[in-house]
A and B are shown apart, each in its own frame.
Chain A
């Protein structure tokens, strides 16, 4: 098990190096059209549908629902090349799950049967900097960490008008809700970090138009203020679908600034696919107290 972790860590560190080569601040991967390519602007309208496990989010009892907002943006790629951004017009209603995506795509030619990749909200997905808030706040999962993906095929191109198949967006992570207890009592928490024993929690994920690169690591959630309430986290565990269990290790900073450690086993059934709502309200933690020994050492760490 340990060796597996090491190998995973080494693999991940390699991936981090690759990720580090890219411009981190850009929402959009930089692609450079060939100088001699002849670019054309197309008009496209796509009917996007999603049900309970697509964007956006609202908590309804124990089920997370997703619906569209007009402020949403969709990035479009063709064969690894970013070709444009679509705006969203949700259907009428309080929580529309269907929307119409429209906008201009600039490409060196689109044709029937071409595959387009649609990403929400951007090409680089970063799970760091979470605040533990689900919705209705800056830095909330709803606003920043709810990533979706859909693929469509071009049905027809008539002049500059492009017709595609309907888009069905899928969430690329699960939404977790954590609560920590110290000796059975809810712990007031300022922040926590979580890392999977598999080290397959994704800290950052980058789409180059044709493939994904994931950087694994721990995810740190820093609450705006210390709270004994449950904290939310958007976690993409790429162990999903492997039918094997995983264990999350937590490093918790309490409102007393002290460090606490806890663990939670995550069954394979919970991890079977992304887009789940997973609740772990009673993660037991213990305070980290450094032992003092009269034994001697000659070398300091």
Chain B
């Protein structure tokens, strides 16, 4: 009972939530479709909520709206429905949708009624979610009580017996021998008259008979269509008469000068000759050669009654329905004793279709939900034809919604259906352009092929939804959109270039991307100043973009990974390598034109080219081409700036920024070359041209390689800023010393720059500053075993101060800060307690390149070979210079023992000792980077203890301390 109460209460709460306008889309779960005839039952796996879905009917061989229609009837009193929308009643797990199928084909047009060889009419019932994703589908074949089927046999010649017996023909004119039969004897079910007429077939005829003479004379024959009351009159020996009512008349001479002849076979018309062809001998030779009889005297065709093949046209295209009877009249020449006999008179008819099929009416676009026509969704188009078409191969259909649609079905019917994916980002009205045979064929039943491309050129009033970011990109948990493939980056370009400036949106690159060969940058600017731009946030996440080929034609400006960004645009944390950025004006590796936005923390490799060999390039930069009131900071570029021709013709080239206009900032950037040669003006190693009256505030920018000053010509108000775009002077550290500027640190982790205040920056292990710059430095040094520290010095410039921070004034050359030392007498080592082979000792290691050292009593020095056994150096009391050793000692040799450690004092000595050969231990006199002592997969091992384990461990630090023993393996 409690359970029932709980369920009821829960259901009530859920219902209230629904009624109260709870907008969250309920989970429908999975949906299965079953059908009973045209009734489709949709069953959901998660009932008891107000979930909803959509359905779509896709014609395959059936045409939506003709063979079936969207229903207007739903089961369930509370179903809310609107066109293809379905809402499940709260309690219902399933709903029925009844499709209105047209099952009486006789009510349809001929083209829609017939199929080839009983090809069934099919459609697909699809269930969609609100985003247009198909979540279930079922194919349906419409049941018909009466089917209408044709095939190519409809074009076979058919035989209609006019009179199978002997007919006596006298010379009493055409009236005396008349025999007629209805055309229905020809239009049997396999040759349906309505279908033949609908496909514009014409009906052709030949007449076959046998003839013999009783008396000598000429024989006349007349074929009449629908002329039961009228006929033409005969006129003489060699002519069948004057043509008026008949379709065809002929006079022939069976056997001149003979009587009581035998039968010979005749076929009319004589296809080799046209009207009024005159006397023609032996025209039936093939059939009468044995009798040497038959001479055509004359044959006449009524207007438009002679077919191209010489046969008689009894009904032109579209006039088959007018055919009622075909009559044959005979006559004999003269006016006495000219009797002859006709026998076995048979008419042969054949429908002839010489016309290729054509599209008929408007194409059909499937109907669906709002999300159906979003970017990336599938859509279907059915092209109706005026007759049955038979498809071979894979024809395609082109539209303005994206890539060509592919053929999915319809052969044998008058409807071909195509399926495609919407890749159009703009909300365009659908325009179906052409149907392309694509190497295949489309024929009618008679075999007439469509040739070439079928121009459809029809528009729809249905507009695709284009794409919004939610549908185009994977949304990350922080609300940003993921860019992880070249396809997605290209998609972003298309998205932006379709007019979406992405303001307020963040795109986050989550993986390295290679092969970005999209045509256009992300945003650009046409010559007239208009054009799409990016005003969102792109975070490269430190991932690489490589093998990018970005092209902007000369008709437009602004080329770069991003063509143009605006005031809210942020592009940061990108590593661009091995790529080519082409364009003429406003070309930058990262951004072509930065109009008020920010480009930050980006790296451009030396295998990146900017620009191309074209005419009068300008505003090219290694990071940003054109800067209009924007910010560029923390960027490194080694891009190769390509100039026009052989180094001439370019203006406003800069290693970081090509040209500045407006009030902008460039700070903490580094241009590493290579040199570029530009004959024109306004070229600088960091910044090319600063347009008159504009201001670019520069701070802490440097270049290493260039033939220009840091800033090009055109400076007007920036003389005081010249110092902040200077040739880099390297401040390096001598041995045993660490030099770190003391000013505020700004780290650009992707570009690799660390900026120190406004006076220096470091990159790739080098510390850069500029001439006359004063840099505050924190100096520290290692403790050198066997030496006493005496102080710091520089090889150039001046170093002042007695303690940190020292002040370095940078000269016009590179500077090395060094340490001074004097020898000492002893070395103190820290030895640590550990158990080896079950016994406790104190341990440490030591190496000195210059001096021998005496160990105190109780301590022994060992080398180690690859067997990891310790071998005594001499008697263990002296460590020779250059010999890295493990020292084992007892406590008696130590001082200051505390917490398991004690001090072991070594004394410089002239005594020597001879170590075992094969020592694998090494050492360095100063701290040494692991990367400097290993190759490939080698590891460094150091002595130490972890938990209760004592021995040599992999060294996971980056720097090996000085005077310690280690080995590499």
Chain A residues in the interface with B (C-beta under 8 A): 5-6, 9-10, 12-13, 128, 190-191, 193, 195, 199, 203, 216-218, 220, 222, 249, 251, 253, 256-259, 261-263, 286-301
Query: Which residues of chain A are within 8 angstroms of B952 by Cβ–Cβ distance?
Result: 290-293
A286's nearest neighbour on chain B, judged by CB, is: B837
Say yes or no: B954 contacts A216, CB within 8 Å.
no
Complex partner residue of A9 from B862, B870, B894, B969, CB under 8 angstroms: B894
A259's nearest neighbour on chain B, judged by CB, is: B870
Complex partner residue of A293 from B837, B845, B951, B957, CB under 8 angstroms: B951
Instruction: Report the minimum CB–CB distance from B57 to chain A (whole Å).
Output: 65
Say yes or no: A295 contacts B954, CB within 8 Å.
yes
Say yes or no: B892 contacts A9, CB within 8 Å.
yes
Say yes or no: B944 contacts A297, CB within 8 Å.
yes
Query: Which residues of chain B are within 8 angstroms of A287 by Cβ–Cβ distance?
Result: 837, 869
Say yes or no: B858 contacts A217, CB within 8 Å.
yes
Known interface pairs A216-B892, A300-B961; A294-B897 also in contact (CB < 8 Å) = no
Instruction: Report the minimum CB–CB distance from B841 to chain A (whole Å).
Output: 8
Query: Which residues of chain A are within 8 angstroms of B953 by Cβ–Cβ distance?
Result: 293, 295-297
Instruction: Report the minimum CB–CB distance from B722 to chain A (whole Å).
Output: 46
Size range of the interface on B? 35 or more
Query: Which residues of chain B are within 8 angstroms of A6 by Cβ–Cβ distance?
Result: 891, 897
Say yes or no: A290 contacts B916, CB within 8 Å.
no
Cα distance A256–B951 in the bound complex, in angstroms: 21
Known interface pairs A258-B870, A290-B868, A291-B868; A297-B954 also in contact (CB < 8 Å) = yes
Say yes or no: A286 contacts B838, CB within 8 Å.
yes
Query: Which residues of chain B are within 8 angstroms of A220 by Cβ–Cβ distance?
Result: 857-858
Cβ-based interface call for B860 (8 A): yes
Cα distance A247–B845 in the bound complex, in angstroms: 27
Query: Which residues of chain B are within 8 angstroms of A261 by Cβ–Cβ distance?
Result: 836-839, 841
Complex partner residue of A301 from B832, B860, B895, B960, CB under 8 angstroms: B832
Cβ-based interface call for B888 (8 A): yes
Cβ-based interface call for B876 (8 A): yes
Instruction: Report the minimum CB–CB distance from A194 to chain B (whole Å).
Output: 9
Say yes or no: B838 contacts A300, CB within 8 Å.
no
Say yes or no: B845 contacts A300, CB within 8 Å.
yes
Q: List 25 A-B contacts (CB under 8 A).
A: A6-B897, A9-B891, A9-B897, A12-B892, A190-B872, A193-B858, A195-B892, A199-B891, A217-B890, A222-B875, A288-B836, A289-B869, A289-B870, A290-B868, A291-B950, A292-B941, A293-B949, A296-B956, A297-B956, A299-B944, A300-B845, A300-B964, A300-B966, A301-B844, A301-B943
**B 98-119 binary contact with A (CB < 8 Å = 1; else 0):** 0000000000000000000000
Cβ-based interface call for B435 (8 A): no
Known interface pairs A191-B875, A217-B857, A300-B960; A249-B839 also in contact (CB < 8 Å) = yes
Say yes or no: A218 contacts B941, CB within 8 Å.
no
Known interface pairs A6-B897, A258-B869; A290-B951 also in contact (CB < 8 Å) = yes
CB within 8 Å of A: which B51-74 residues: none
Complex partner residue of A288 from B869, B916, B960, B964, CB under 8 angstroms: B869
Say yes or no: B845 contacts A249, CB within 8 Å.
no
Complex partner residue of A199 from B838, B841, B857, B892, CB under 8 angstroms: B892
Say yes or no: B858 contacts A253, CB within 8 Å.
no
Cα distance A288–B945 in the bound complex, in angstroms: 15
Would you call the interface of chain A mostly helix, strand, loop, or mixed? strand
Cβ-based interface call for B330 (8 A): no
Instruction: Report the minimum CB–CB distance from B279 to chain A (whole Å).
Output: 114
Say yes or no: B942 contacts A297, CB within 8 Å.
yes
Would you call the interface of chain B mostly helix, strand, loop, or mixed? strand
Say yes or no: A300 contacts B942, CB within 8 Å.
yes
**B 928-950 binary contact with A (CB < 8 Å = 1; else 0):** 00000000000001111110011
Cα distance A13–B960 in the bound complex, in angstroms: 32
Say yes or no: A259 contacts B871, CB within 8 Å.
yes
Cα distance A216–B886 in the bound complex, in angstroms: 24
Query: Which residues of chain B are within 8 angstroms of A249 by Cβ–Cβ distance?
Result: 839, 890
Instruction: Report the minimum CB–CB distance from B840 to chain A (whole Å).
Output: 8
Query: Which residues of chain A are within 8 angstroms of B860 by Cβ–Cβ distance?
Result: 193, 251, 253, 259
Instruction: Report the minimum CB–CB distance from A7 to chain B (whole Å).
Output: 10
CB within 8 Å of A: which B11-55 residues: none
Known interface pairs A257-B872, A258-B869; A296-B858 also in contact (CB < 8 Å) = no
Cβ-based interface call for B955 (8 A): yes
**B 872-898 binary contact with A (CB < 8 Å = 1; else 0):** 100110000000001010111111010
Say yes or no: A13 contacts B895, CB within 8 Å.
yes
Most B CB within 10 A of own CB, among A10, A220, A301: A301
Query: Which residues of chain B are within 8 angstroms of A256 by Cβ–Cβ distance?
Result: 871
Query: Which residues of chain A are within 8 angstroms of B869 by Cβ–Cβ distance?
Result: 258-259, 287-290
Instruction: Report the minimum CB–CB distance from A139 to chain B (whole Å).
Output: 14
Most B CB within 10 A of own CB, among A193, A286, A297: A297
Query: Which residues of chain A are within 8 angstroms of B946 by Cβ–Cβ distance?
Result: 293, 295, 297
B943's nearest neighbour on chain A, judged by CB, is: A301
Cα distance A256–B867 in the bound complex, in angstroms: 13
Cα distance A217–B965 in the bound complex, in angstroms: 27
Instruction: Report the minimum CB–CB distance from B903 to chain A (whole Å).
Output: 10
Apart from A253-B875, A293-B952, A301-B844, what are 5 other A-B pairs with CB-CB below 8 Å? A6-B897, A257-B871, A263-B839, A295-B953, A296-B953
B949's nearest neighbour on chain A, judged by CB, is: A293
Known interface pairs A193-B890, A203-B892, A299-B944; A253-B876 also in contact (CB < 8 Å) = yes
Say yes or no: B951 contacts A292, CB within 8 Å.
yes
Known interface pairs A258-B870, A289-B867; A298-B955 also in contact (CB < 8 Å) = yes
Query: Which residues of chain A are within 8 angstroms of B960 by Cβ–Cβ distance?
Result: 300
Cβ-based interface call for B864 (8 A): yes
Query: Which residues of chain B are within 8 angstroms of A293 by Cβ–Cβ distance?
Result: 946, 949, 951-954
Query: Which residues of chain B are within 8 angstroms of A5 by Cβ–Cβ distance?
Result: 891
Query: Which residues of chain B are within 8 angstroms of A263 by Cβ–Cβ distance?
Result: 838-839
Instruction: Report the minimum CB–CB distance from B880 to chain A (whole Å).
Output: 15
Most B CB within 10 A of own CB, among A128, A216, A251, A291: A251
**B 908-919 binary contact with A (CB < 8 Å = 1; else 0):** 000000001000
Cα distance A12–B867 in the bound complex, in angstroms: 37
B887's nearest neighbour on chain A, judged by CB, is: A301
Query: Which residues of chain A are within 8 angstroms of B897 by Cβ–Cβ distance?
Result: 6, 9-10
A194's nearest neighbour on chain B, judged by CB, is: B890
Known interface pairs A9-B897, A258-B871; A301-B942 also in contact (CB < 8 Å) = yes
Complex partner residue of A291 from B890, B942, B951, CB under 8 angstroms: B951
